[in-house]
Amino acid sequence: MIAQGYLGILLPWVAGLLLVELALNLGCLLGSIRWWAAGDEARARLPLRLGAAATILHAVRVLIYALGRTAPLLHFDVRPERRVVIGDQGGWFWVIFASVLSILGLLGVLVIWLLRRRRRKGACP
């Protein structure tokens, strides 16, 4: 989205969420490389937490995107001078597609959290 120029189209608070999500993803990537290089399970905590935070923030951004395409809140996330330019890009397909993938991402976070929790409880007597 940054390469497509959305920082100039979105309102500053929505663009800020985009940049925070980017920072979380970069932190997750760097933490994952460190975890992979060390091969130590103890180093999994940071990348998993950053990845979960990025996934949750992405789901919030998709919710904002979906709400911004509905009638009562139409384009509330877009700068007023850019609302005509955005128009109806792609219709509802991309809204539904992004929403479904965000729900799947949240389910993935939940499954990983439950599996790690179960393993931790099983390891302790």
Q: What local confidence, expressed as pLDDT, does residue 1 receive?
A: 81
Q: For the chain, give every domain's residue range.
A: 12-123
If you count them, how many residues does the chain have? 125
Whether 72 has a pLDDT exceeding 90, the answer reads no
| Nearest-angstrom CA–CA distance, 8 and 15 | 8
Whether 34 has a pLDDT exceeding 90, the answer reads yes
Mean pLDDT of the chain: 90
What angle, rounded to 10 degrees, do the helices at 45-67 and 12-38 form? Answer: 150
58 and 105 Cβ atoms separated by less than 8 Å:
yes
Cβ atoms < 10 Å from Cβ of 46? 15
Q: What local confidence, expressed as pLDDT, does residue 80 receive?
A: 85
Q: What local confidence, expressed as pLDDT, does residue 14 receive?
A: 95
> Mind listing the pLDDT tens digit for each residue in 40-69?
888 899 999 999 999 999 999 999 999 988
95 and 27 Cβ atoms separated by less than 8 Å:
no
